[in-house]
Amino acid sequence: MWKYLKKYWFFALLAPLFMLGEAGMDLFQPSLMATIVDDGVLGLNNGGVGNLQIVIHTGLQMIGLIFVGAMCGILSGVFANLAAQRFGNDVRKDAFSSIMHFSFSQTDHFTTGSLITRVTNDVTQVQNMVQMVIRGYVRTMILLIGGIICMTRLNLSFGFVLLLAMPLIVVVLILFLSKITPNFTILQQRLDDVNNVMQENVSGNRVVKAYHQEGREQERFGTANQKLIETQLRILFLLNYMNPIMNIILNLSVIAIIWIGGLKAETWEVQPGHVMAAITYLTQILNALMRLGMMFQNISRGMASSKRLKEVIDTVPEIQDGEMTLATITEKIAVSDADMMTESEGKGATESEEEITEKREDDRIVIHGQVEFRHVSFAYAGHEEILNDINLTIAPGETIGILGMTGSGKTSLINLIPRFYDVTSGSVLVDGVDVRNYPLSELRGKIAVALQKSEIMQKSIRENIAWGNSESSEEEIRKAAEIAQAMEFIASKEEGLDTQVAQSGYSLSGGQKQRLAIARAVLKRVEILILDDSTSALDLKTEGRLYQCLKTEYPDITKIIIAQRIASVRDADRILVLEDGRIAACGSHDELLSDSSIYRDIYESQMGGVSHG
């Protein structure tokens, strides 16, 4: 974490420097008070006659020093806050940036609740630790060391009291902090558990209400919260035992100083003002020791949080940019274009030069959007294989449907195209280039995905549609909405495209959210459009109009449609049937009805055996 603080070294340096001023002023006060008592009030150096001028003059000095100390304390606090807040801001942004680059499996490993805790609570703990170290630690050490020096200068007998008290306090601190420190890591983990339950119930509150499971989830939250409370109480109990013991040692030490001071004062070895100063210094020293103990506790908590943050920040994303540059990829795709054009020229040797040129231009348009799976196998970490030896080529501009039972690997297959996950073996190619060689921004810039569970932001409808292409014009946004069959319900809203959507899209129906997600995908203007069961909430008539618009408006875009209903994919150029992670059949609707028993079974179960050929 040091690298984050180095940027603000100037503030981090000024804070302790000004703290030197504040703590130094505090160390001057007891000696000035001793002067007022001994010389100003008792007049011990003036035959027992007090001197009001000394009281006034020294009192004004004390007020001046208090003012200087206060100003130094304020400036120290300002600079410490500037350093700590900016440090925390940078750590939080880097942690969030790391999370944004995690693969799905890495996010699952940490869990959403834990990541939220780390970016919020853990950053706050580390930020507080930094602020305390550059300000509070300096103050504590100055008062501790300075107090010891000043106290022993008054009388060595007072130093013996300190010599006895300090080891006792150190032993108490070590004993209790050794028991408290391990609980801080547990405390953050308990907070993770609470946030996980909270996050699941807030995002899934409709399901909870639909199944009337509020009581069960309250009990689940209560269990997680109880464990958090138990950990917090364990820490507080230890602290509550520690503080009274420390205070007992402090008070016994003060009594010892008064007793020794009284004996010394009788023989005039020590003046009464010095006894008062010694009590003040002793209080400063022992309080500094107690504060040091509390600081070690906060440092322990901050270090536990720092370790958790480093786990996030230092985690290398599994999905990295490919090694090929954009120029190299463009060149490779151009070579593929040239190969196709050469083949086209060979077939059309009798054509005119003008016709060949036109064909070349056509080839350059349609080559983009090819997807190929070569002997692809895939398994999630720690699980059995989901896909096994998949071989498939999707031609540019082709519409392909994917059917299969739940768990057959449909979504896993299309997740490999934009590299949400990487293959276990084999390779996935887009435009003849392995997706692992692409820069991620370039690869994902070619692809748009609309999912069954549509992620809608708490923004206006316009902003949601334009989310993937913020430079879109009003006309383009409206056209995308029309293609997605969304303009009808948007027009019915009083504010139209400017209608604000509730968090997670709760103010919209499932079908409305899906249509907005499809409009967003369409507006991105990509080469490959993936619809992962994203029309499941649409009626067949609306769905039919949507696919007809996509076919008419974007004939050159490669369209991959995952569906549960045959009616959703029957007009596709080809339909792929997956079973147990393998390709069970592939062909047009009519071909599969004729040749695939699995497809016929699905068809008959959905259509009741009625032929619609």
Provide, rounded to the nearest whole percent, the portion of the chain with pLDDT above 90.
10
Task: Return the top range by mean pLDDT from 151-160, 162-171, 328-337.
Answer: 162-171
| pLDDT of res. 265 | 65
| Average pLDDT rounded to a whole number, residues 341-367 | 42
- Find the helix or strand (DSSP H, E) in which 400 lies: strand 399-404
185 φ/ψ angles, rounded to the nearest 5 degrees: -65, -40
3-state secondary structure of 573: coil
The pLDDT assigned to 210 comes to 65
Residue 100 structure tokens: 């944004």
pLDDT over 50 (residue 27): yes
Q: In degrees, to the nearest 5, what angle opens at C-alpha 231 toward C-alphas 229 and 234?
A: 105
Per-domain residue ranges of the chain = 2-313, 326-359
In the chain, the N- to C-terminal Cα span, in Å, equals 66
Query: In whole angstroms, what is the distance from residue 257 CA to residue 286 CA?
Result: 13
* pLDDT tens per residue across span 229-255: 888 888 888 877 777 887 788 788 878
- Residue 177 has a pLDDT of 76
Q: Which residue has the higher pLDDT, 518 or 282?
A: 518
**pLDDT, tens digit (0-9, with 9 covering 90-100), for 457-513:** 888 888 888 887 878 888 888 898 888 888 888 888 888 888 888 776 677 887 888
Q: Is the pLDDT of residue 366 over 60?
A: no
Whole-number Å distance between alpha carbons of 508 and 521: 18
Mean per-residue pLDDT for 148-156? 76
Place 343 in a pLDDT band, splitting at 50, 70 and 90: very low
Residue 608 banded pLDDT, cuts 50, 70, 90: low
Query: Tokens for 327?
Result: 């120029």
Please tell us whether the domain made up of 2-313 is placed in CATH 1.10.287.70.
no
pLDDT of residue 108: 79
Query: Are 394 and 413 in contact, with CB atoms under 8 Å apart?
Result: no
DSSP 209-230: HHTT-HHHHHHHHHHHHHHHHH
Q: How much helix, strand and coil, in percent to the nearest 5, is found in the chain? A: 70, 10, 20
Residue 535 pLDDT level (bands cut at 50, 70, 90): confident
Residue 349 pLDDT:
40
Q: What is the mean pLDDT of residues 399-418?
A: 89
pLDDT score recorded for residue 174: 81
> What integer pLDDT is reported at residue 268 of this predicted model?
65
Contact between 188 and 307 under an 8 Å Cβ cutoff? The reply is: no
**pLDDT bucket at 346, cuts 50 / 70 / 90:** very low
pLDDT greater than 70 at residue 350:
no
8 A C-beta contact, residue 430 and residue 417: yes
What is the overall mean pLDDT for the chain?
Answer: 81
What's the mean pLDDT in 302-326? 83
Q: Which residues contact 467 (CB under 8 A, 6 or more apart)?
A: 457, 459, 520
What are the tokens at 141?
A: 């050490």
Say how far apart CA 232 and CA 509 lie, in whole Å: 42
Q: What is the mean pLDDT of residues 20-35?
A: 83
Residue type present at position 340: M
pLDDT of residue 465: 86
Give the strand pairing for 528-532 and 447-451: parallel
The pLDDT of residue 399 is: 92
CA distance 184 to 271: 48
Is residue 363 within 8 A of residue 388, CB to CB? The reply is no
How many C-alpha atoms does 64 have within 13 Å on its Cβ side? 7
Say if residue 214's pLDDT is above 80. Answer: no
User: What pLDDT does 267 receive?
Assistant: 64
Residue 241: CB atoms within 10 A of its CB come to 14
Q: Identify whether the C-beta of residue 532 lies closer than 8 Å to the C-beta of residue 562.
A: yes
Residue 421 has phi, psi (to 5 degrees) of -135, 160
Q: Tell me if the pTM is above 0.85.
A: no
